[in-house]
Structure 1
Amino acid sequence: MAYRLIDLFAGAGGMTLGFTHRDFCGGFESVLSIDNDQAAVDTHASNFGGKAVCADIEEWLKTNKVPKADVVIGGPPCQGFSLLNKNRIGDERRALWEPFLDVVELSGARTFVMENVAELYSSAEFLAIKRRAKRMGFEMRAAVLNTADYGVPQTRKRTIALGFKANLVPSFPPTPTHAQPETLLSKRLPRWRTVRDAIADLPATPIGTEIGTEKTLNLHFGRNPTDISLARYAAVPPGGNRFDLQRNALHLTPQCWIRKTSGGTDLFGRLWWDRPSVTIRTEFFKPEKGRYLHPVENRPITHREAARLMGFPDSFHFCGTKVEIARQIGNAVPPPFAGAIAEVVKEILSSRSARPKQSGKRGAKVAA
């Protein structure tokens, strides 16, 4: 019998996929997902069935009954913790962990998983979450984890907070499955998966400029760049960035970049074949937003390539417009990473491999 799963702020369902699909973990069944993005809800429903709801979670809770569940997962919107919003002015969303925990309580769940940006780990909000969870009878463990350590061809650091109702300490954080090359761990674990591993087999030339209907390649479409954009792409060498554009083709470089002599080295950069990708964000199709140029082709990465760099299988069906699908991809929890977390949750729920409490602190950057 499968464990019952509720996914809040579910997006396309990357975390649900990691919990429910046997290639990642399996053993869980989606009984409810909630998100306020209709296209994402359509994607979730298309892939998982179950009850997928498009709603504001606080409004939904006023008139609906929460179903029973074994685990509640999700990522309350992270903009309130983001480095892009250091002052947290005018952002009410950082409080959305409260209805998340309301659902945990109302569902009778024995465990929960909250995913958020790395900055959550050291925030005042995290301490408030721990206090509320403790009042509800939950213990918590948390860590900042890198998705590349769990088979995702992308370096993406996230805080994972695990809550559980048991006098046991789970095997948390999950044991890495991959390791950075030239480290001690790499002697006994496979190396990090790379961009080459993920996308090298896809056609070098995108298939048209529309989403298309062929399921396995329906996101491998291109854009219609201007002549100046094509010239700019061509001026960036393998591994290069906007500074190479300035060196190689000053006349093609936007004046704002010329005036800004310092700053991020990922803007207008090319991905490297033999490294994991940088963090895939919601506007990965715009190279001016980050290191999103193909390693050798003179174009940005396609939606299919971005989905693969997140760990989504080609069989996963996305719904919506190009922009809506890009948002779903960039906001997702990579499924292989979610699968590693799901294995820990399964241990807790089945009481297998959980170990009695021990005194003393173990490991680094793991919050008790």
Structure 2
Amino acid sequence: MKYKIIDLFSGAGGLTLGFTDPRFCGGFECIYSIDNDSAAVKTHNANFGEHSLCTNIEDWLAKKPVIPETDLVIGGPPCQGFSLLNKKRHGDERRVLWEPFMDVVEQSKAKIFVIENVDGLLKSAEFDKIQKRAQKNGFTVQAGILNSANYGAPQTRRRTIIVGWKSNSILHPISFPPQQTHSAPDTSDNLPDWLTVHRAIGDLPEPVGTEIRKCNPPLDLHFGRNPTPMSLERYKTIPPGGNRFDLQKNAPHITPQCWIRKKSGGTDLFGRLWWNRPSVTIRTEFFKPEKGRYLHPEKHRPITHREAARLMGFPDDFIFYGSKTEIARQIGNAVPPPLAGAIAREIKAVLDASQIAVA
């Protein structure tokens, strides 16, 4: 028997993949998902079956749809309202999209819910509201900030995870945080070291062309860009592990004046990834080195879409649909499937135990 999940704000389906794919957990099936990004919905349908709907969740709920009963509701309400990158986050309407999420939890009679968001959510007033509403409806809530590198993703992505379960349906508490599968080097816990950038992308050849290629993965998304001579010259000045400060030191004549005037902050801008570490957080514009530490560890170029997908933890056989920009957005907004799988394994264990007890 497979447990049923509804994925809200599903994007490409990183959370769904972690729950449904045996390489991460398995034992779950997605029966419904919603997102307002049409390309992401096409991706989700291609990988998990034709049950993803492209719509605004509040418009959808206003039509009073018949919501199927499910075991879990999972999802990541848009995080920009909590992000420190959003300087106008106070009053951002995206802060309250957890409310329709909880509406679906209640109407679907879900026993468990999982919310993923940026680390800033945990210290926000919104988290307190989520917790109070969940507790009012009979849920026990656990929450914390998890680092995806601790769960087998080659990326140090820190995210708030909130897990709630109904104690009258789930006989045992869900173990939280999930048991780590990896740890930082030199940690005396006998776990394997964090996966590195080299292990994730070191086998890939040089990218070809600048467009999505009509060939088998992984090379379909392994394409480059056409940098200007100025950009290429800038890339060449960045040493292994370096960043914009090295550009300023080595080639001030081609360093943007705004960076020269800004003496502090932004240490990842125009930075190179390290071969022997996990990557930094992969965001939606990973193909722009001016946005973060997205230069290849040694080549004079930013990372490719395939490299970004691997650093997120997506297997090569996961199918992405859309334009270059749309696929980049799907990758950068995703939950790393290995992290999702770790959460799924803990949930499956208590669901299995509850089924055995009932039988």
TM-score (norm 1): 0.93
Return the alpha-carbon distance in structure 2 between the equivalents of residues 88 and 171 of structure 1.
32
Which aligned pairs between 1:263-342 and structure 2 lie closer than 5 A? 263-342=265-344
Counterpart in the other structure of 2:164 = 163
Secondary structure of 1:162's counterpart equals strand
Which aligned pairs between 1:17-32 and structure 2 lie closer than 5 A? 17-32=17-32
Structure 2: gaps of 5 or more residues: none
1:285-322 CA distance string (max 9 Å, x none): 00000000000000000000000000000101100000
**Alpha-carbon offset, residue 86 of structure 1:** 5.3
Which of the residues 219, 231, 234 maps onto 2:233? Answer: 231
Counterpart in the other structure of 2:207 = 206
Return the alpha-carbon distance in structure 1 between the equivalents of residues 87 and 186 of structure 2.
35
**RMSD after superposition:** 1.4
Return the alpha-carbon distance in structure 2 between the equivalents of residues 169 and 329 of structure 1.
32
Identity among equivalent pairs (%): 66
**Alpha-carbon offset, residue 87 of structure 1:** 5.2
- Give the AA of the match of 2:43: T
Return the alpha-carbon distance in structure 2 between the equivalents of residues 85 and 353 of structure 1.
44
| Greater Cα shift, 192-201 or 252-261 | 252-261
Return the alpha-carbon distance in structure 1 between the equivalents of residues 148 and 16 of structure 2.
16
Counterpart in the other structure of 1:153 = 154
- Give the AA of the match of 1:19: F
Which of the residues 185, 201, 212 maps onto 1:181? Answer: 185
1:133-176 CA distance string (max 9 Å, x none): 01111111111110000000000101110010126322111100
Structure 1: gaps of 5 or more residues: 355-368
On the 8 A contact 2:42/2:321 being kept in 1, the answer is yes
TM-score (norm 2): 0.95
1:239-294 CA distance string (max 9 Å, x none): 00011111111111111111112112100000000000000000000000000000
1:110-140 CA distance string (max 9 Å, x none): 1010001111111111010011001111111
Pair 353,284 (structure 1): closer, same or farther in 2 beyond 3 Å: farther
Counterpart in the other structure of 2:126 = 125
On the 8 A contact 1:4/1:29 being kept in 2, the answer is yes
Secondary structure of 2:203's counterpart equals coil
On the 8 A contact 1:57/1:99 being kept in 2, the answer is yes
Return the alpha-carbon distance in structure 2 between the equivalents of residues 265 and 353 of structure 1.
50
On the 8 A contact 1:170/1:353 being kept in 2, the answer is no
- Give the AA of the match of 1:181: P
Return the alpha-carbon distance in structure 1 between the equivalents of residues 246 and 110 of structure 2.
53
- Count how many residue pairs are aligned between Structure 1 and Structure 2: 351
- Give the AA of the match of 1:198: A
- Give the AA of the match of 1:197: R
Which aligned pairs between 1:250-265 and structure 2 lie closer than 5 A? 250-265=252-267
Counterpart in the other structure of 1:366 = none
Return the alpha-carbon distance in structure 1 between the equivalents of residues 349 and 306 of structure 2.
33
Shift >4 Å, 4+ stretches: none
Secondary structure of 1:169's counterpart equals coil
**Alpha-carbon offset, residue 84 of structure 1:** 2.3
Return the alpha-carbon distance in structure 1 between the equivalents of residues 348 and 331 of structure 2.
26
On the 8 A contact 2:172/2:354 being kept in 1, the answer is no
On the 8 A contact 2:236/2:300 being kept in 1, the answer is yes
